[in-house]
């Protein structure tokens, strides 16, 4: 897996991702301490609103940001987004009211909604080999998990020597470092056809391709399965460990580390697994296991009570494995489902639609857990995960061939596309994606 870091441009971009993630992790810790200073006991409500603003920005702004920035060079977009994030982080130590936090976080997450899909769309253009790209996806998953594990520890060490305001300086340095690394990497230019499209077409193109592609409809529903199970882990782990087990903050960190370690293990194993099995088979199997484990855990708690602490950690580690096995191959599906010039729009659509699942499941995890009880909340989210799985299997055919036979009744015989794919009769075969000449999947007419 590490061999792909020999590719100089990918190595710079991966380093940019790592540095930006560390900065984001420091920002998360610093925000929590800033919220407590400003709001006291209401800090939880403030942070809940911050996370809601984050999801709203992600869901609503990624396609808009892509459409607005579609005519600009991708390197300029990436560097500009990083600089906006650095500027916002630079102002946070001077905040003296809660509403200022909300406004600044919205701007920062709007910049992230611009940066992340554009960054993700660049990688398959740099790593054109399928095996290299699969390894890059696993490395990216590892980077996110390591950030979740290491950033709080790094913040704790820094807070021994500096005030929490200094954490925001680390965030600024992370985003500036990311911008510099991107600046010195070779970023392939967007296709001229993509830049020339009207604004409305650029705004809706990714969503239209996504919705019209069966495997991507399945991906959306599998993302919902992962979000349903993952939301309970991220929202309620602290409640389960502190409230139900009666343990301390260190054990909360251990439980979250178990989930992260499972996710990292899956990321390490997936490149070899995806060489032997199709993406759909791996992702659906992981979704079956994740939904089944979540429902079984909920039923066990309702009937028997809490599992032993070691059993709980094992459940969290297995959940992390299955969660990662669903999410990590997503980039491969997006890469297979669009031409290179449409990939940025498609990655922006994926960014929006995947976070839509989190926007729905985060409040359910929190509200149902506090009103109905934790086992009942887990059962509800497990049922949502199971529903997503069933619908995904129905939406994503098992025989998901990339080369499909089809015909074009709306194209004249001399059309360039028909000349490029000559065949006896009206029907021909090639790798099929939704584009200007192919607006509907062949099984849909």
Q: Which domains does the chain have, with CATH numbers?
A: 1-190 (1.20.1250.20), 205-397 (1.20.1250.20), 404-439 (no CATH)
3-class SS of residue 406: strand
Contact 211, 219 (CB under 8 A): no
Closest CA to 194 of 20, 69, 290, 371: 69
More confident residue, 279 or 250: 279
pLDDT in tens, 257-272: 889 889 989 988 999 9
Q: How far is CA 425 from CA 428, 439, 444, in A?
A: 8, 21, 21
Place of tokens 């460990």: 241
Q: Does the pTM of the predicted model rise above 0.75?
A: yes
- Amino acid 277: pLDDT: 93
Instruction: Give the DSSP letter of residue 131.
Output: H
Contact 325, 286 (CB under 8 A): yes
User: Averaged over 294-309, what is the pLDDT?
Assistant: 95
- Amino acid 4: pLDDT: 80
- Amino acid 445: pLDDT: 41
User: Which secondary structure element, helix H or strand E, spans residue 326, and what is its range?
Assistant: helix 309-327
3-class SS of residue 403: strand
User: Rounded CA gap, 17 and 213, in Å?
Assistant: 29
Q: What is the mean pLDDT of the chain?
A: 86
More confident residue, 138 or 153: 138
Q: Which residues pair with 405 in a beta bridge?
A: 429
pLDDT in tens, 27-79: 877 887 787 788 776 765 676 677 778 888 888 887 787 777 667 888 898 99
- Upper half-sphere CA count for residue 354 (Cβ side, 13 Å): 22
The 10 Å Cβ neighbour count of residue 41 is: 7
pLDDT at 359 over 90: no
The 10 Å Cβ neighbour count of residue 156 is: 11
pLDDT at 219 over 70: yes
Alpha-carbon torsion 290, 291, 292, 294, what sign? positive
- Amino acid 223: pLDDT: 95
- Amino acid 443: pLDDT: 66
User: Rounded CA gap, 178 and 128, in Å?
Assistant: 23
pLDDT at 155 over 80: no
More confident residue, 193 or 404: 404
User: Averaged over 422-432, what is the pLDDT?
Assistant: 75
The 10 Å Cβ neighbour count of residue 55 is: 18
């Amino acid at each position: 897996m590490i061999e792909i870091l020999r590719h100089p441009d990918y190595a710079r971009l991966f380093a940019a991702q790592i540095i930006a993630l560390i900065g984001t992790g420091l920002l998360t810790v610093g925000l929590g301490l800033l919220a407590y200073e400003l709001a006291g006991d209401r800090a939880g409500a403030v942070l809940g609103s911050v996370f809601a603003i984050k999801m709203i920005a992600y869901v609503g702004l990624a396609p808009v940001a892509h459409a607005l920035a579609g005519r600009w060079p991708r390197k300029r977009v990436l560097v500009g987004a990083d600089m906006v994030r650095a500027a916002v982080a630079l102002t946070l130590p001077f905040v003296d009211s809660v509403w200022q936090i909300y406004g600044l976080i919205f701007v920062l997450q709007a910049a992230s909604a611009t940066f992340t899909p554009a960054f993700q769309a660049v990688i398959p253009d740099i790593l054109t080999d399928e095996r290299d790209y699969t390894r890059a996806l696993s490395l990216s998953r590892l980077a996110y998990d390591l950030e979740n594990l290491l950033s709080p520890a790094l913040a704790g060490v820094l807070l021994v020597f500096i005030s929490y305001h200094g954490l925001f300086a680390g965030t600024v340095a992370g985003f500036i470092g990311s911008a510099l690394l991107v600046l010195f990497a070779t970023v392939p230019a967007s296709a001229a056809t993509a830049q020339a499209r009207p604004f409305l077409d650029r705004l809706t193109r990714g969503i239209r391709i996504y919705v019209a592609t069966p495997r991507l409809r399945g991906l959306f529903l599998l993302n919902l399965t992962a979000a349903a199970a993952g939301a309970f882990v991220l929202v309620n782990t602290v409640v389960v460990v502190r409230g139900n087990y009666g343990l301390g903050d260190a054990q909360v960190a251990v439980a979250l580390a178990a989930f992260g370690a499972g996710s990292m293990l899956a990321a390490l194993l997936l490149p070899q697994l995806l060489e032997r099995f199709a993406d759909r088979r791996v992702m659906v199997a992981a979704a079956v296991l994740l939904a089944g484990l979540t429902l079984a855990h909920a039923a066990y708690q309702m009937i028997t009570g809490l599992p032993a602490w070691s059993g709980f950690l094992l459940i969290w580690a297995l959940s992390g494995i299955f969660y990662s096995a669903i999410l990590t191959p997503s980039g491969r599906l997006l890469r297979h489902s669009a031409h290179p010039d449409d990939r940025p729009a498609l990655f922006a659509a994926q960014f929006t639609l995947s976070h839509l699942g989190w926007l729905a499941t985060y409040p359910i995890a929190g509200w149902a857990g506090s009103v109905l009880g934790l086992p009942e909340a887990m059962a509800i989210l497990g049922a949502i995960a199971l529903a997503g799985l069933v619908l995904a299997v129905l939406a994503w055919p098992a025989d998901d061939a990339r080369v499909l036979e089809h015909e074009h009744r709306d194209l004249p015989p001399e059309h360039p596309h028909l000349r490029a794919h000559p065949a006896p009769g009206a029907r021909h075969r090639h790798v099929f994606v939704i584009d200007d000449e192919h607006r509907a999947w062949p099984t849909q007419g």
